[in-house]
Amino acid sequence: MASLLRSLASAVLLALLAVRGIEGTEQREFDYFLLSLLWPGTSCAATRHCCSDNACCRSSPLPEFTIHGLWVDYNDGTWPACCTHSNFDIKKITSLLPTLEKYWPTLSCSSSSLCFGGKGLFWAHEEVLTNAGILATDDKKYPLKDLAAIITRAFGATPQLVCRHGALDELRLCFYKDFKPRDCVDGADVLANKQNNCPKYVSLPTYTPGLTDISESIGLAMYNPLSVA
């Protein structure tokens, strides 16, 4: 658990580099941070085109969650967006670029943020799920409530899970402004929120790297999103 929290803390600090410039006087003070983590087996299976920047097209599959983004949100469900017109200066993080390219790859050929145009970041560990026997496979589904409970115990707050075609697509973790964990949703909502499109049992699919057409990837046994239970 300590290793997990250290990894999350590092991820948050790196992601803050991308969002620190969006605060401005035009918007009221935000309430909390939302960290969105993507499961590459679900995201990469929908890859239509390969390019040098797309980590889904690497020779080996990505084995861990990646960071989709870190956002500032309001408690009422809205968020500030593009609060200033200042430009992001890539030179300020030049020394971090090799690390970001290795651990924060993009999962598409053209993925831009609303304000600056950024890339994703690798989440270093998925050990909490692995230690609980939750492994990436196309042959097994896991109870959604078990996934939520495992993450809640390790993280210390309720996450939000988002699915696509019966597969886990996104894990959302929320933080207070002092970076202490907080609930993203009410406990009941993590299972009942229909907007998250999660069935009672979900898969963590694998995928085949380098495919350039979604119809080809869906036809392979390596990716077989399981239907709603």
182-226 pLDDT, tens per residue?
Answer: 998 654 454 444 457 889 999 888 876 654 333 333 333 233 333
Place of tokens 């790297």: 209
Nearest to 19 by CA among 196, 186, 175: 175
Cα angle, residue 74 at apex, residues 71 and 76 outer, rounded to 5°:
135
Q: Which of 54-58, 144-148, 190-194 has the highest mean pLDDT?
A: 144-148
Rounded CA-CA distance 196/189 in Å is 10
Place of tokens 């270093």: 124
| Three-class secondary structure of residue 211 per DSSP | coil
Banded pLDDT at 40 (limits 50, 70, 90): confident
Mean pLDDT value of segment 42-69: 71
Q: Which residues pair with 168 in a beta bridge?
A: 163
Considering only residues 56 and 149, tell me which one the structure prediction assigns the higher pLDDT: 149
186-195 pLDDT, tens per residue?
Answer: 544 544 444 5
Q: Which residues pair with 171 in a beta bridge?
A: 37, 161
pLDDT value, residue 129: 67
What's the distance, Cα to Cα, between the start and end of the chain in Å? 31
Considering only residues 46 and 113, tell me which one the structure prediction assigns the higher pLDDT: 46
Nearest to 24 by CA among 79, 81, 75, 63: 81
Q: Which residues pair with 170 in a beta bridge?
A: 38, 162
Q: What percent of the chain stands above pLDDT 70? A: 52
CA-to-CA separations, 18 to 12, 93, 112, 144, in angstroms, rounded = 10, 10, 12, 31
Residue 133's Cα: distance from chain center in Å?
21
| Three-class secondary structure of residue 229 per DSSP | coil
| Long-range contacts from 56-59, C-beta under 8 angstroms, 24+ separation | 56/107, 56/108, 56/207, 56/209, 57/209, 57/210, 58/105, 58/209, 58/210, 59/209, 59/210
Q: Which of 43-47, 57-61, 155-159 has the highest mean pLDDT?
A: 155-159
pLDDT value, residue 185: 67
pLDDT value, residue 182: 93
Rounded CA-CA distance 217/213 in Å is 7
Considering only residues 228 and 61, tell me which one the structure prediction assigns the higher pLDDT: 61
Q: Which residues pair with 37 in a beta bridge?
A: 67, 171
- pTM of the shown model: 0.64
pLDDT value, residue 70: 80
Banded pLDDT at 11 (limits 50, 70, 90): low
Tell me the CATH architecture of domain 2-219.
Alpha-Beta Complex (3.90)
Rounded CA-CA distance 88/116 in Å is 6
